[in-house]
Structure 1
Amino acid sequence: MMFFVLSKIFWAIFTPLTFISLLICGGFVMRRFTWGQRVMGTGIALLVLCGFFPVGHNLLVYQEARYPVMTALPAHVDGVIILGAAIDFKKSLAWGQGQLNEHASRVTEMIFLMQHYPKAKIVFTGGNGKYEKSLSSEAVELDKLLKHLGFDTSRIIYEGESRNTFENMNLSKEKLHPQKGEIWLLVTSAFHMQRSVETFVSNGWDVIPYPAGYLTEGDYKLIPNFEVLTNMYKLQIAAKEMIGIMAYHLSGKIKSNETIDPLPVSSDASGHSSSRQGR
């Protein structure tokens, strides 16, 4: 609980645009001092650099390239675990309709994998990610949405108490008791895959990464532009992920300082893996 609260407080202060604004405003207030002028100058320089140059975009390209898109599927999997964050929880509650966000590919790929692996366990893990208790959760809202669209959700195992990636892993592990040697696909957005894989694997749950959803086209960019809000938004996502990885290592939620390799994709007896082509 303490880690969750502290992480929320830390991120509220060090969100890139908030932090830069604090530097500029604080420096302006103390501008009569030399150090105040330097602080304000640093804030302005960061605003120009991060606002007009694709810094956040390039960080996301790096993060999304960590695990390539899966073009060949394992012939058999025991289960598929999908991490939450694809449902806009507050808007779903406010309007009484399931609202998907920019991470909706986690859900669409879940539907594809349900059809591709009719005997596999399908697990969706997602609470509300907030301090306060709620009568609903992302898992509940997704179930409502899928039923509204006519899907049979009886196969889906929901975990609706988790608030972050570590709790996704830990609470799902307590519910499912995965065994050594089982083959599990882990579905989450590409930029979030490194932290997710390292959290699962270092805590004894071997998974195969299945990136679902990209926020870039995969190309690095150097030319400045005037898409300030987009640049800052991408920087916010990339920075949060970088800080999250460091925090998980420092807090022991990722139990290794070394790069963790996930399970390789296994083939069937004839030496061939299933293909995604022809979807």
Structure 2
Amino acid sequence: MFFTISKLFSFAISPILWIGILIILALFIKKSSFKKGVLIFAVGLLFVFTNPYIFYRVSSWWEDYNQDVNAVQHYDGIIVLGGGVAGYNQQEEEINFENSSSDRLFKAIELFKMGKADRFIFSGGSSGEVKEGEVVQCYLKKVDIPEDSTLVEWNSLNTHENAVETSKLLESAGIMNGNFLLVTSGYHIKRSMDCFKKEGISVTPFSTDFMYQFGSSDFSGIFHPSTVYLEKWKTILKEWVGYTVYRFVGYV
């Protein structure tokens, strides 16, 4: 139920949808002053949500975690969250990583091969027939990650379940009291950190695929709007709502 509701929210939390509704609403409003006010509000939202500079300022504040791989200390394990597998061809056994979130997995593999951790831990399922964890488990073998150093689960459907299912893996491996590096997307790191800490797991953040890199830090960007940011804002807004809901239900 929680998973279904979150998907419905994902559809509703869209600046494009809000702006479209306002414009359509204005078409049916007869009172000119009210119509003008609604249209001005719609244009205002369009300006905010298509502005590179505003997006950069907000996303860089929200994703305020950054690390150099060379500065990372040694950990008992690297925990990487799912979301990077865009598709899987079962017949040809081909994995589609055409998804910015796949950077989570690639960066975690890089860190592990640099000797930054003893264990490689992946957490991520899906609502479909093919579970992401199963796909990643096969991929890890292909890239020469030792099977006896990996822990993988594919039952989780959201960030809260990532933390819960990972805690079970750590308990079964006898390393629950260890220190772990948590790898996930920049926009997702705050909620992830709080969820894992709630389950009693000691984690240090390592963010990937930052969204703020797509914005403009130069103030001149305020005069160069782009519709590209409408979808990027949707990701951040969804995360804010998700974090608020998690706090309300006690997941963080």
TM-score, normalisation: structure 1: 0.76
Aligned equivalents of 2:241, 2:133: Cα separation in 1: 26
- Alignment correspondent of 1:104: 102
Post-superposition offset of 1:215: 2.9
- When residues 221 and 235 of structure 1 are mapped into structure 2, their CA distance, relative to the original with a 3 A threshold, is farther
Matches within 5 A, 1:233-272: 233-254=231-252
Aligned equivalents of 1:212, 1:127: Cα separation in 2: 20
Post-superposition offset of 1:55: 2.7
- Alignment correspondent of 1:232: 230
- Alignment correspondent of 1:151: 144
User: What are structure 1's unaligned runs of at least 5 residues?
Assistant: 255-279
Aligned equivalents of 1:181, 1:144: Cα separation in 2: 28
| Higher strand content, 1 or 2 | 2
Aligned equivalents of 1:203, 1:168: Cα separation in 2: 10
Matches within 5 A, 1:122-161: 122-128=120-126, 130=127, 134-147=128-141, 149-152=142-145, 154=147, 155-161=149-155
For the Cα contact (< 8 Å) 2:170–2:176, is it kept in 1?
no
Q: Encode CA deviations 1:130-175: one digit per residue, 9 max, x unaligned.
A: 4xxx32122222234444x543451322111211111111111123
Identical counterparts, % of pairs: 24
For the Cα contact (< 8 Å) 2:55–2:212, is it kept in 1?
no
Match of 2:158 among 158, 161, 164: 164
- Alignment correspondent of 1:21: 20
- Alignment correspondent of 2:208: 212
Aligned equivalents of 2:90, 2:19: Cα separation in 1: 32
Match of 1:86 among 84, 87, 90: 84
Aligned equivalents of 1:4, 1:39: Cα separation in 2: 34
Corresponding letter in the other structure for 1:6:
I
User: What are structure 2's unaligned runs of at least 5 residues?
Assistant: none
- When residues 39 and 118 of structure 1 are mapped into structure 2, their CA distance, relative to the original with a 3 A threshold, is closer
- When residues 179 and 118 of structure 1 are mapped into structure 2, their CA distance, relative to the original with a 3 A threshold, is closer
Corresponding letter in the other structure for 1:151:
D
Aligned equivalents of 2:210, 2:140: Cα separation in 1: 22
Post-superposition offset of 1:110: 1.7
| Higher helix content, 1 or 2 | 2
TM-score, normalisation: structure 2: 0.83
Aligned length: 244
For the Cα contact (< 8 Å) 2:54–2:222, is it kept in 1?
no
CA RMSD of aligned residues (A): 2.8
SS at match of 1:87: coil
Aligned equivalents of 2:35, 2:161: Cα separation in 1: 41
- When residues 119 and 58 of structure 1 are mapped into structure 2, their CA distance, relative to the original with a 3 A threshold, is closer
Post-superposition offset of 1:187: 0.7
